[in-house]
Every structure is written in structure tokens, then in C-alpha cells.
A and B are shown apart, each in its own frame.
Chain A
Amino acid sequence: MADITLQGINKSFGQNRALRNLDLEIKDGEFFVLLGQTGAGKTTTLRVIAGLEEPDNGKVLIDGMDATNWNAAQRDVALVLQQYSLYPRLTVRGNLEFPLKSRTQNFTPEQIKERVDKAAETLQITRLLDRKVERLSGGEMQRVSIGRAIVREPRVFLMDEPLSALDANLRDVLRVELKKLHNELGATFVFVTHDQIEAMSMGDKVGVLNKGQLVQVGTPSEIYNNPLNTFVAGSVGTPPMNLMNGTLEGGEARIDNGFSLPVTAIGAGAGQPLKFGVRPEDLVLESGAPVEGRVFDVEDHGVIKILTIDVGQNRLHATVSAQMKVALDDAVRFGWKADKVLLFDQKNGRNLAYA
């Protein structure tokens, strides 16, 4: 069980600055998700924590102790990768035993067997124990990889997109299992993903990374409801938040080339160019609503429908109940929940509520 703190981590690969002055705090027992696009520095962050990559400068603290110069073995972490971490020559049992047989561990054969059996039971792979790794399916392989991590009962689990190579159904199943595992083990989990649904559904805390910098850290609902800037607003939520340029005049949002609607956020930002952000579910479609738009696209998701509406030069997403009858090119009237509208600085994208 361990806290992890990164302080001012910089890491470059040649010309490419992978991490820029990254600060990060992960609490003991937390399920921490690092969310970011490819190249944002998620994997590098994980490898720095694991001790596989040495930061150019900055400190890694584990449980308050400076672990910057510890090697991977001393940090007592376990790593689950997207693929490849299983040894093809060994059976499933051989793979699960492997971490327990290193010189830094002193386990008797009985203890090893006990731990392997227990891990196999937890992950429901007991029947696969004597099989060669080559003959496993993707989901089975990933379970074994997770098993390899849990046999050692490490302080920290580091997972680098462990689910992204799996097909959708299996991903959902393993997502639930991983959360359950986290509850049972109580260890610190650091989970890297580019999939915002994974991030939102699994994390106690989510850290959004962009270009080697941590943009925002918060609970999934903080990230979703109060994004720090337009980047975070755009990276979570399906479909993403609607962002429109405009100005604030007398408690009304005047959207460029479009419409005006009231907002409750007052004071800040009057007179300057703004971006108004509103989640698709906070657009309200009803017959008496103030603004008219034209339906450009309808996606039926069963429970909900996602409409794309053209208003002037803006194209907005709205989620509505699946019962609503609507066809392409229909004229629809809509308003929004005035208290849910967020104001961002048009220049630097920052949420004015944080300013």
C-alpha cells in the first residue's frame, strides 16, 4: 500500500519532450486513471513510476521516500501491459510463478503454489494453469497478465491500457473485474487509458494529460461537470461538450452568427470573447423553446438518441429520449439549462469559474 508522488518530472526522448514538469499525487489505495491521447505521455509517466524510465529531472516519491534512484525491483510495483508480457515458452502456471521465483523474493515452493492457486482462483483461470500461453485467447492472456501482477501482492499496480487490445464485450467484463479486484486488494492502482469511458467508469480519480502536462486531476464527476479548460471539456463525454464562440451581454449568451440564450453565470467575462460550453444532455428540446435549429443527423442508441442540430453556423449535439420522434431536416426548437452552461476564455480556453 503506497502513496505515489511525482514532483516536477521532465523527460525527453531526443527532441521530443514527453513529460513537462509533471506533478502528480496518487493516494494510497486509489484507483487513479491517467487519461490522454496517444503521445500525451501517459505511458512514459507509468514507466517513470515503475522505474523503467529515468526522469531527466524531478522526483518520484513512494510512501514519502525518495525513490527516484530505486530500480524497478526495489519499488515493489507490478506492471500489466497491453500485450506481450507473458512468456510464450512457459505454461500459465510457469508465468504466474515467474515473479515469485526472482532472487529478491524468498518463497518456499508451497507458498508459491498457494499464491498461484489463489490468484488463479480470483481470476477464474484455474482450468488454464497447465496450458501453454500460446494457446490462450486474448482475454485469457490478459487475465494471466493480471494474475502475474497480483501473485506478488505488490504495493502498486501499474496498468498500461490493459483492455484496449480486447474486443468490446470482454473489455466490459474485465473492467468490472478490475474494479472488483481493486476493492478486494485495496492496493494503489494506476491505470493508463485513452478511452474516456474507461477513465470515467473506473477511476476514483482521473488525471487528464495533454502534451506531457497534467491538465486537470479530479473525480470523474469533477472532470465531467467542471472541466478546467476546453481541452478537458472536449476529451470526456460522448458526444463531447458543445463549444460555441460568443459574448456575454446582460446575462445572455450571444452566440456568434446564431442565437441568444440566458446564462446564470454572471460577473466574470462580460464583454470579452468567450466560448460557451454546454453538455449535450443539457440542451432541452421542446416545442415552446426559444431557438430553432435544423436536424442534421440522428443517431439512435437505443436508450437515447443523439441529434446533431445546425443553428446558424454552429453545429450542436443534443441527447434526447429515444421515444422522441424526429427525422432528418426537421425543424426543432430548443433551449438549455442556464445553470449548466460553462464559460471559457476564448483565447486560452480556461474555464472562467477557475480563474
Chain B
Amino acid sequence: MAGVQTSAEKWTNRTAIAAVFVALIIMLTPIYWIAATAFKPRNLATTIPPTVVYEPTVAPFVKLFTKRSQLREQPTQEEYDNAPWWEQMVFDGGEKVVRNRKSGEVRSSGYGDRFKNSLIVSVISTILAVGMGTLTAYGFSRFKVAGEDDWLFFILSTRMLPPVVVAIPMFLMYRVVGLNDTHMGLIILYTAFNLSFAVWIMKGFIDEIPREYEEAALVDGYTRIQAFFKVVLPEALTGMAATAVFCFITAWNEYAFALIMTNRNAQTAPPYIPSQVGSGLPDWTVIAAGTFLFLIPVAIFTFLLRNHLLRGMSFGAIRK
């Protein structure tokens, strides 16, 4: 602003900046802590007071991705010298990397697979929830649906109890139909869980898109479906992006159902990470490394959609 600021405005401005600064510190400290711990040697992870200056190491990441076991006896000097640098790191931590007995190949931990599972389940369930939510919302927004308000309330009511309450019955049902420990099982769960949210948010966005746009297209010779894809969808993209971010975060971070419904094939990262407390005392550096990597996809996803989010986060409240 080129205009003259009164001193009151100046102070309002400074207060706002200070408030943002404080909020940032509060929010970023845990993330810093995770990142810092992920690069610490194990013996410095839990010191009091915390170690701030240290020589960063990637040992936690090596441990995160490999299967290890406790060392019964110290490796011989020859054994140690022949081992690659990353294996030496594991030796230094008093553990050894487990190798396949026949081929001698290093056995990996489950983290990579769990991470992949998280991606598969979250991405697919987000696409499904946003896609189905958008279509449902369009229907509610544009057509006369008998008992529309009741239906919408019913859809919302699926969110009215804590999901964990139904975890046990869900688990029993899943076991009967064989959806236990499958990607499909989690995808269905997360889609169902996010769908009500997606319908409500998308209805708000689609209500904001003037009907006249589609009607003009209909008169111009487009079919209802074409009008939807050519006219409504481009206008709704902002809302879909915001909804997708919320759905993705919910699915990505979901812990309770993932813990109960999966154990090996389809297990996602959230229940896996804390299970790696290992033998003896928990190795916080490995947990931090797992968590650190786990943060990255959400960060990337949100970053990619940031242009849509600014308008989208206001839930369509900004009008032109």
C-alpha cells in the first residue's frame, strides 16, 4: 500500500505479524523436532537438555529401511571393514543388518511397502470420494430430489459418531466378507468416511456456480453431461482441490482403522511407524525418520494445489 498509514494501523500491522510469528513457532516446532531427531545419532535423541548442535547422520534412515537384529557379539574387524558404509552404521548402533541366508541379500524392513500402501489407499480413496462427492453434490444442487434436506442430513449423520466406535463391528464384517488386510477394504472405508464431507463441501461450491452457465450450454446444443464437464467442472476445480486436500490428509493420517483392519499386506504407514520400537528401548531416531518421510507427500500435495486452496479454503465464501 502506497497510502499513508496511521500509527494505529502500523501497530495493528505489527501485532498481526507478531501473532503470525508466534503461531508459526508453535506449529513448526514439532516438525523441526521430528526433522532434527531423524538425523541424530541414537544416543543424542533423548538427551536432556536437548542436543541442538550435532553431526547429522543418515543412520536412522538406513535402519528404517532395513531389517535388523540385535548383535550377540561384536563383529570381527575384518567383517566390519568389508561391510559397506551403511552397514557399518548399523554395527555402530549395536545391531546388524539381516541378510538372506542363501543369496546374502539385505532384507528390507516393511516401511517401503507400508508407505506404498499409504499412497495407494489415500490417493484412490481421495479420487473416489471427491469424484463421487462432486457428482452427488451436483445432483443435489441442480435437480429436485425428493426429501433433499433429509438425505443431506443423513449423509452428514455418518460423521456424527466417532468412527472408532464402529471399529469392532466393521472388523467382524470385514472378516466375513474377506476385506480384512486388503487395499480395497481400506479404500472403501476411507472413501465412505470422506464422502459425506466431500458431498457437503462440494454442494456449497456447486451452489455458487450460476445455473445460467449450464443452461446457456444446454441451449447451445450441449447435453447435460457435456455441460457438466465443459462448464461446471472447470468452475468447480477450486472446490475439488480443497476437498481433495482435506480427504487426502484424513486418509493419509488415519490410524485406528488401519491398525485394526490390516496387519501385513495392506498395512499403511501410520500403524507401522510406532510398531518399530524395536527391541530394548524405543529407537526414537528411526521413528522420527519414518515420520519425517511420512510428512512429505502431504506437503507436496498441498504445495501443488496451493493456488486453488487460497480460494477453496474459504469454502466458496469469496464472491467476485
Interface residues of A (CB under 8 A from B): 50-52, 71-73, 77-79, 81, 83-85, 87-89, 98-99, 102-105, 134, 148, 152
Contact = CB atoms under 8 A, between A and B. Distances in A.
A87 B226 contact: no
Given A52-B215, A73-B220, 10 more contacts: A52-B219, A79-B215, A83-B212, A87-B231, A98-B220, A102-B217, A102-B220, A103-B222, A103-B223, A104-B221
Contact of B218 (A71, A88, A98): A71
Interface residues of B, number: 17
Contacts, number: 59
Contacts of B283: none
Interface pairs A-B: 8 shortest CB-CB: A102-B221, A99-B220, A104-B221, A84-B212, A73-B221, A85-B216, A72-B218, A84-B210
A105 B231 CA distance: 18
A152 B220 CA distance: 8
Contacts of A84: 210, 212-213
Contact of A105 (B216, B221, B320): B221
Given A87-B231, A89-B234, A134-B320, A148 B218 contact: no
A52 B235 CA distance: 21
Given A87-B231, A89-B235, A134-B320, A81 B216 contact: yes
Given A87-B231, A89-B234, A89-B235, A99 B212 contact: no
* Centre residue among B221, B223, B231, B320 by max chain A CB count within 10 A: B221
A52 B220 CA distance: 12
A289 B213 CA distance: 60
B221 A99 contact: yes
Interface of B is mostly: helix
B234 A103 contact: no
A103 B221 CA distance: 7
A5 B226 CA distance: 30
Contacts of A105: 221
Nearest to A99: B220
Contacts of A72: 215, 218-219
Nearest to A152: B220
B221 A85 contact: no
Nearest to A78: B219
Interface string B213-241: 10111111111001000010011000000
Nearest to A90: B234
Interface in B26-79: none
Nearest to B216: A85
Nearest to B214: A52
B149 to A, nearest CB: 14
B51 to A, nearest CB: 53
B274 to A, nearest CB: 46
A89 B223 CA distance: 20
28 contacts: A51-B219, A52-B218, A72-B215, A72-B218, A73-B219, A73-B221, A73-B223, A78-B220, A79-B215, A79-B216, A79-B219, A84-B210, A84-B212, A84-B213, A85-B212, A85-B213, A87-B213, A88-B320, A89-B235, A98-B220, A99-B221, A102-B221, A102-B222, A102-B226, A103-B221, A105-B221, A134-B320, A148-B216
Interface in B177-231: 210, 212-213, 215-223, 226, 231
A88 B215 CA distance: 15
Given A85-B212, A102-B226, A103-B226, A77 B219 contact: yes
A44 to B, nearest CB: 13
A81 B223 contact: no
Nearest to B230: A98
A249 B79 CA distance: 132
A270 B271 CA distance: 97
Contacts of A88: 235, 320
Nearest to A50: B219
Contacts of A99: 220-221
A148 B226 CA distance: 18
Contacts of B213: 84-85, 87
Nearest to A158: B219
